[in-house]
Structure 1
Amino acid sequence: MKEELCQAFCNELTVRDVPMGLAVSTAFSFPDGDRIGFYVKEVDDGFEIQDNGMVFPALEANGLDRKNKSRADALTALMEEYDVILDEDDKEFFLSARTRVELPAAALRFVSFLLRVGDLLLLAEERVASTFRLDVERILRERLGEGVLIQAGQAISANLADFPPDYLIQAEGRDPVALFLGTSDARVLEALFVQLRAEHEERIPVKIVTLLEREKSISAAVRQQATNRLDALLQFRGDEAAAIGRVIKEVGLGHAIN
C-alpha cells in the first residue's frame, strides 16, 4: 500500500532545471485548472521555495481586497500557519528551508499552503460573481421600472429548462430577452447552446444576450463564437450605463436608456 500511495503522489511530479534553480510541477491544481508548482533556489542561508508570481495577483484580480480587514486577516493567518511570506515588491509567496534535509517537508508545506490559497480564490470568485449579479439586477430594475417583467432564473421554455438564463426580460408586445451573465466560458457556451436550440428546434422568438463583467472574463475563442452568433455580447464594468442601455434596447425600449 505504501508503494501505491507513493506512486499516486509522485508519478505526476516533474522537476526540471531552470536558471534560478529547480522548477517543480505537482499533480494538484488551482480552481482554474492550472497545475500547482513552485521554484526552488539556493540562497545564502539555505533554500527558498517560491511561487511563479501569479498567485497573489490572481487573488487581487478576483476581488481579494486586503483593505477588507476580514479577508486580510484570513490571508495573514494562512501565511502564519504555513510560515509563508509575501514579497510585496515581486508579489510572490515564498517559504524558507535552512537545510537540504528540511527541503522536502518545506515543499509539501508550501503546496498545502497553495491549495488553501485556492480555496480563498474560489471564495473571491464567488464574491465577485455575486456582486456582479446584484449590480446588474439593481440597475436593470431601476432603469426598466415596473412595466417590464424581469424573472431571475426563469427558463425560456420547458424544453430549455436545463440552461435557464440569469434573467428573462419581457416588455408587453415584445419578444423576450434572455440575459446570460458571462462569468465563465462554460456559461457563455450555454447561452450559445440555448440560442441554437431556441432558433432551430424550439423555434421560439427570443433574443439571447450575454453580459460580461470584464473583457477578460472569457477566452478569445469563446468570445469570437459569441460575438458572431449571439444577439449581443456586452461588457459591464467601466461602462455600466451603456451596457444596460444596450440590454434595454434589445428588450425593445430604446427610449428607456435616457
Structure 2
Amino acid sequence: MNLQQEICAAFCDGLIVRKVPVGYAISAPVTWFSGDTISFYARVEGERARLEDSGSLLFDLEGQGVDFSSENRMEILSGLLRDHGVVLEEEDGVFCTEWVPKAKIAALALPFLTFLARVQDLLFLNREIVKSTFKEDLIGALEDTFSEASVSVAEALIPSLPHYTVDIVVRARSGKTAAIFPATNDVSVLRAVLFSMELQKHDVSNIVPFLIYENLDKGAITHQSREIAFNSDLTPAVWSGGREEVMQKVQRYVQ
C-alpha cells in the first residue's frame, strides 16, 4: 500500500454512507463544535442530486451566539459560500450545493465538507483572539526569516481549486513554496490534510505543506484528527518546542 492509499484508508475508514429516504446520509471522521461527527445528506430526486446539511447548522450556530445580523459575520459567510459553491436557502436555513446529475455528486463532497468545516469559524471569531496571537507570531517569524515580501496569507495556490486556501504562504528563492496551516483545532487540521491530498492527486511537487501546532495540548485537537494528520503527507512542527527550530525546519524543506 502506497502513501496515498494509506491516507485514503485512514480518512475513509471513518466515512459512513447510509441509504435514507431522501437519498444518502454521510458522516465524516471530523467533529462539529458540539463534539458530534460532521454529517450531511445527498438528496436524490430522479436523475439529479445535491448535497445539503440537516437544516440545523444555521440555527445551531445562532444558538451558540453567532450573530448573523453582524455585517462582519455575514461578509465571512458570503465569502465561504461563494468560495465553496454553496448556497443558503434562507426560507428553511439549509446550506446546499447546486443540483447536478447523480453521477457527478461525489465530486462535490470534498468542497462541501470543507465548507461545513470552515463555516464553524464563525463560532470561533471571539475565541480566536488568543489563537490569532499564535498565527501573528508565526507570520512575524516567517517574515523575519524569509523577508516580508515572500510571505502572504489566505491564498489559493492551486488555480483549479480556488476553495483550497492556504493560511500562510512562503515563497522561497529556490522556487519552492511552503503552504503553512497553523493547527489550532480539528477544522484547521482537516483543511491541511485535504490540501495535502490534493497536492498528491495533482502531482504538485514544488509546494511543501506544513501543519504547525502551537502546542500538543490534547484538548484542542482530537486524537482521531492527529492520527489522520500524522498519516498524511503533511510536514509537522510544534511552535512551543522551539520557534527557531520551526523556522529552521521550514527553511530546510524549501531550500
Q: TM-score under structure 2 normalisation? A: 0.48
Q: TM-score under structure 1 normalisation? A: 0.47
Which one has more relative contact order, counting CA pairs under 8 Å at least 6 apart?
2
Larger Rg: 1
